[in-house]
Copies of this chain bind each other. A is one copy, B any other.
Amino acid sequence: MQSDLGGVGKSSVSVNLALALSRLNNQVGILDADIFGPSLPTLLNLRNHKATTTATNLIEPLINFNLKCMSIAFLTKSDGAIVWRGLMVMQAIEKLLRQVAWSPLDYLIIDLPPGTGDIQLSIAQLVPLSGVIMVTTPQELALIDVRKAIEMFRLVNVPILGIVENFSTYFCQKCGHEEKIFGENGAQLLSNEFHLNILETLPIDTQFRQACDQGRPIMQQNETILCSKFNNLAKQINEQMHKNKTTTT
């Protein structure tokens, strides 16, 4: 479950974290809570797929790569723009959370839209979130939104599990020169400011970007450094969750 501003690769991180958690023998679902610009169908190669209804009148999540997947795109007829006011959006979100045959699940990863608006608030109020992961780039302009999001989640008592820094660095494919295209130390600054752990830092990776655009998640392909980073991220989340379970029961 995670949040921040858009364009920082949040959805791509969500999907590959879900796959890494699934590898650790968890039953994992992923919910695309971006009503206006759903990207899950592209990322999980489920474009133009539509959901069906179960005998008990629940919506059946689509299954691909061993993940239960749900997005507003699986419920709407066309690919057209969704022009909805706040209230309709809230109803859609509630439907995606409550009227989908999710269970049994160990994890439901919710890929939140950018910002700290109605959708984020409603989800925090509708379901008891175990935690939220903040995804950011190192850039100062990105940190502005993440700071707001951290404050909002603290206000509504959702635990923040830590920070993932995406687009941390770039290595030239020809000469190997490293360049911090989007700046540096962004996650470190946030970590110091809010006393949060940095869970992982992910480089800019053209293959990763292509895999995302083509619906072939890297966690389903050959082992790369990026895969081991997602495995590490999943391991930390798993440990945090099991620790929480032990201390609360």
Contacts and interface: CB of A to CB of B under 8 A. Distances in A.
A6 B145 contact: yes
Contacts of A80: 148, 151
Given A39-B141, A173-B177, A179-B173, A148 B7 contact: no
Nearest to A136: B7
B155 A181 contact: no
B137 A7 contact: yes
A52 B82 CA distance: 38
A162 to B, nearest CB: 19
Contact of A141 (B137, B170, B213): B213
A216 to B, nearest CB: 12
Contact of A152 (B39, B81, B113): B81
Given A5-B37, A114-B115, 18 more contacts: A5-B114, A6-B115, A6-B145, A36-B115, A36-B116, A39-B144, A81-B155, A83-B121, A83-B156, A85-B118, A86-B86, A115-B115, A139-B209, A139-B213, A141-B212, A170-B170, A172-B179, A181-B204
